[in-house]
Amino acid sequence: MLLRYITRRMLIGVIQLFCLVIAVFFLIRLLPADPVSRLVGLNSSPEGYEQAARQLGLDRPLFEQLWIYLGLSPDIAPGLLQGSLGVSWASGSTVGSEIATFLPVTLQLITLAFILAFIISIPVGMLGALNPGKAADKGVFVYSLFAGSQPEFWWGLLFVYVFYFQLGVAPAPLGQLSPMTFPPEPVTGFMLIDTLIAGEPAKFFEALHHLMMPVITLAFILSGPIIKMVRQNMLRALQSDFVLYANLIGLPRKRVARYALRAAMGPSMTLIGILYGFMLSGAVLVESVFSLGGIGQYAIRSVLAFDYPAIQGVVLVITAISLVVYLLLDLIHAAIDPRIAY
Catalog residues that contact other proteins under the rule CB under 8 A: 239-242, 244-253, 255, 259, 262-263, 266, 336-339
| 334 and 328 Cβ atoms separated by less than 8 Å | no
CA distance 153 to 166: 18
> Closer CB to other proteins, residue 191 or residue 264?
264
Give 235 or 275: the residue with its C-beta nearer to other proteins.
235
Min. distance of Cβ 128 from other proteins in angstroms?
A: 15
Least separation in angstroms between CB 272 and other proteins: 18
Residue among 85 and 265 whose Cβ is closer to other proteins? 265
- Using the minimum distance from each CB to other proteins, give the nearer residue, 54 or 262: 262
Residue closer to other proteins (CB basis): 195 or 268: 268
For the bound state, the minimum distance from the C-beta of residue 230 to other proteins, rounded and expressed in Å, comes to 17
Q: Using the minimum distance from each CB to other proteins, give the nearer residue, 138 or 258.
A: 258
Return the number of the residue (32 or 252) whose C-beta is nearest other proteins: 252
Measured from the CB of residue 25, what is the shortest distance to other proteins in angstroms?
36
CB 286 within 8 A of CB 109: yes
Nearest distance from residue 331's CB to other proteins, in Å? 15
Closest CA to 284 of 151, 119, 89: 151
Give me the sign of the Cα torsion angle 255, 259, 261, 266.
positive
Which phi and psi (to 5°) does residue 3 adopt? -60, -40
CB of 234 to other proteins, least distance (A): 14
| Shortest CB 333 distance to other proteins, Å | 11
Dihedrals phi, psi of 309, to nearest 5 degrees: -60, -40
Q: How far is the CB of 254 from other proteins (least distance, A)?
A: 11
Cβ nearer to other proteins, comparing 218 with 246: 246
Q: Least separation, in Å, of the C-beta of 115 and other proteins?
A: 24
Q: Which is nearer to other proteins, 47 or 241 (CB)?
A: 241
